[in-house]
Amino acid sequence: MADLPELAEWIAGIYQIEQTDPVLGGAPNETTGAGLTNIPALQLAKRTLWLKQLVENAGIGVQTLVSVTSFDAITAGGLYVGAGTAAGSPDSAANAVVLHIPSNNANAAFQIAGRIGTINRLWMRRKQAGAWAAWVEVMTGSNVQTSATDATAGRLLSVGAFGVGATVSPVISNINDSSLVSGMYRTTLADTVSGAFPSGVTGDGRTGVLQVHRLDGGSLLQSWRQIFSDAVWERRFTTAAWTPWRRVWDGVSADYSATTNGYQRLPSGLILQWGGGATESGGSTAVVFPIAFPTAVHTVVVSDVAVALTAGNAHIISTHGETRTGFTALGTTFDGSIGPTQFKYFAVGS
């Protein structure tokens, strides 16, 4: 038994066998009418093969796609494969599969391309007025950061990346890490175990927020704010080394009291204090500073306040036992006798 001689051809119409037609078997011939009974089956077979090839050429139902050397030259809709060297390839480093979607004219179309390889990448582009636009990469789940500190080039930032929009900033283990990218980070006693904190910051005082400002690969600034106080410190990283931390002069470090007995904190850490008092007729008087100097008192200067511009009202004021909290003042006249008098003082400490 022989098969029908199929050809991939779209037949405009299928012959209908009439009641008056003789039953003629054998090889069908549409031109001569030979094998008349088999002609309709032949025509259907041709259509079926034509459709099969059309579908396969579009990349459907096949294991191997049609390979092209130019993605720009594709005109028929379907799936195609091409090397990175193919004209119009979205990725010169790898093969790509392209879905070509034609429009209602040859000058307009749309293409979607996927990278073949270990990296998931997806692109799309359009053809308008006969010219292809540049490929635009579509971001997928594989392009999203793997962590809040993932600085891989081309990754999509998640909410909270590098502390931006985060309710909890990412923690760092080394505050001296000069490779940190710009962002907000968290320091804690338990986690941030390496690096130099500002002088005097220990224990739970390490808990704070670090802001990194990068200029380039080798230069950056750090601002660190202690969470349990209003203190802020800054430093720079240049020529492969950190500068010392410097505290920012703020409302805390510039605290003052503009009263008769007052004080002024300076950015350097020095504290200026002033005030007045009166010595007693029987001897010395204890003076207490408005605030205690945190570290030490460096100098105390005392001057007499004469009640009248006469020699008898001039006194010598001496100090004794200067401490962080105060000193003792003793007033004497020029003849050496102890006498009561008023005085003012100015003290410097840190």
Q: Given this model, what pLDDT does residue 108 score?
A: 94
The torsion defined by the Cα of 34, 38, 40 and 46, in degrees rounded to 10, comes to -100
Question: How far is it, in rounded angstroms, from Cα 319 to Cα 302?
Answer: 8
Please give the C-alpha separations between residue 73 and each of 62, 106, 237, 258, in angstroms, as whole numbers.
22, 11, 54, 83
130 and 194: one domain?
no
Question: How far is it, in rounded angstroms, from Cα 68 to Cα 293?
Answer: 83
Split at pLDDT 50, 70, 90, the class of 247 is confident
Q: Is residue 279 part of a domain?
A: yes
Q: Can you name the residues that pair with 349 across neighbouring β-strands?
A: 271, 297
Last residue of a domain, one of 16, 34, 57: 57
Q: Is residue 281 part of a domain?
A: yes
Last residue of a domain, one of 138, 169, 193: 138
109 and 178: one domain?
no
Question: How far is it, in rounded angstroms, from Cα 335 to Cα 307?
Answer: 18
109 and 84: one domain?
yes
Q: Is residue 113 part of a domain?
A: yes
40 and 123: one domain?
no
Mean pLDDT of 280-289: 83
pTM of the model as a whole: 0.46
pLDDT digits (tens, 9 = 90+) for 88-106: 999 988 999 999 999 989 8
Say how many C-beta atoms besides its own lie within 10 A of residue 42's C-beta: 22
Q: Given this model, what pLDDT does residue 1 score?
A: 44
> Domain residues for 231?
161-247
Question: How far is it, in rounded angstroms, from Cα 250 to Cα 257?
Answer: 15
Q: Could you give the percent of the chain with pLDDT greater than 90? A: 37
Q: Given this model, what pLDDT does residue 145 score?
A: 66
Q: Is residue 27 part of a domain?
A: yes
Q: Given this model, what pLDDT does residue 324 score?
A: 97
- On the question of pLDDT at 260 being above 50, the answer is yes
Mean pLDDT of 288-309: 90
pLDDT digits (tens, 9 = 90+) for 54-70: 887 777 877 888 899 99
289 and 271: one domain?
yes
CATH number at residue 344: 2.60.40.3940
267 and 294: one domain?
yes
φ, ψ of residue 7 in degrees (nearest 5): -135, 145
Q: Is residue 335 part of a domain?
A: yes
pLDDT digits (tens, 9 = 90+) for 309-345: 665 667 888 899 999 999 999 888 776 677 788 899 9
Q: Given this model, what pLDDT does residue 32 score?
A: 83
Across the chain, mean pLDDT equals 85
Number of structural domains (the chain) is 4
CA 267 vs. chain centroid, Å, equals: 32
pLDDT digits (tens, 9 = 90+) for 191-242: 888 899 998 888 888 999 999 998 888 899 999 999 888 789 999 999 899 9
53 and 6: one domain?
yes
Last residue of a domain, one of 57, 76, 99: 57
Question: How far is it, in rounded angstroms, from Cα 158 to Cα 152?
Answer: 13
Q: Which of 85-89, 114-118, 215-219, 266-270 has the highest mean pLDDT?
A: 85-89
Mean pLDDT of 249-269: 84
Question: How far is it, in rounded angstroms, from Cα 30 to Cα 35?
Answer: 9
Higher pLDDT, 130 or 142: 130
Please list, in sequence order, all residues whose beta carbon lies within 8 angstroms of the beta carbon of residue 33, skipping any fewer than 6 positions away: 24, 39
CA 64 vs. chain centroid, Å, equals: 43
The answer to which of 158-167, 173-182, 260-269, 277-286 has the lowest mean pLDDT is 158-167
pLDDT digits (tens, 9 = 90+) for 150-165: 777 767 766 656 667 6
Q: If you count DSSP H runs as helices and E runs as strands, how many of each does the chain have, helices first?
A: 1, 21
Question: How far is it, in rounded angstroms, from Cα 233 to Cα 235?
Answer: 7
293 and 338: one domain?
yes
